């Protein structure tokens, strides 16, 4: 099992979109002037972590995926939202399954804004600390008196 980090989840979402939407550029950074539509822009809006028990944590990732289409019609934006609901409902990152929750979208100025959360549990690795230092034992056996 691989280590779960903020960037591994972020890259996994970007990779999932890249794998499911052929011909659409996907970026996690701002896209410059040279890129033409269609493209996805993935933003990790926030990440929150709460301790539950000792080494167990509950982590919530909140994402926004913006989609800029070539045609720019509202109907196309809502159609893309339907595809995102299906794609992000259940997907894998590094062999682990994830489910998008709290999904919703809106369209403003012909740009689709799709929001979803990922909730996961994380167990921190216990540090290997020596239980005690070295111990030398000596003993003698007495026979008789």
For 44-102, write each residue's pLDDT tens digit.
999 999 988 888 889 999 999 999 888 778 888 899 999 999 999 999 888 889 999 99
Instruction: Provide the number of structural domains found in the chain.
Output: 1
Domain of residue 19 covers: 6-123
Q: Is residue 138 part of a domain?
A: no
pLDDT at 1: 47
- Does pLDDT of 25 surpass 90? no
Quick one: pLDDT at residue 28? 85
In a domain, 27, yes or no: yes
Q: Are 62 and 47 in contact (CB under 8 A)?
A: yes
144 located within any domain = no
The two three-digit tokens of residue 116, written as one number:
């979803």
Q: Which carries the bigger pLDDT value, residue 133 or residue 29?
A: 29
* Residue from 89, 85, 67, 87 nearest 76 by CA: 67
Q: What does pTM read for this prediction?
A: 0.79
């Amino acid at each position: 099992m691989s280590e779960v980090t903020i960037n591994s989840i972020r890259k996994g979402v970007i990779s999932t979109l890249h794998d499911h939407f052929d011909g659409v550029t996907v970026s996690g950074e701002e896209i410059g002037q040279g890129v033409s539509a269609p493209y996805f822009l993935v933003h990790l809006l926030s990440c929150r972590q709460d301790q539950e028990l000792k080494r167990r944590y509950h982590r919530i990732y909140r994402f926004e995926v913006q989609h800029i289409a070539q045609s720019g019609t509202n109907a196309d934006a809502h159609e893309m939202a339907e595809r995102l609901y299906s794609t992000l409902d259940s997907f894998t990152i590094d062999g682990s399954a994830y489910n998008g929750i709290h999904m919703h979208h809106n369209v403003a100025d012909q740009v689709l804004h799709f929001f979803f959360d990922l909730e996961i549990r994380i167990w921190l690795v216990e540090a290997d600390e020596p239980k005690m230092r070295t111990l030398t034992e000596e003993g003698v056996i007495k026979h008789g008196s």
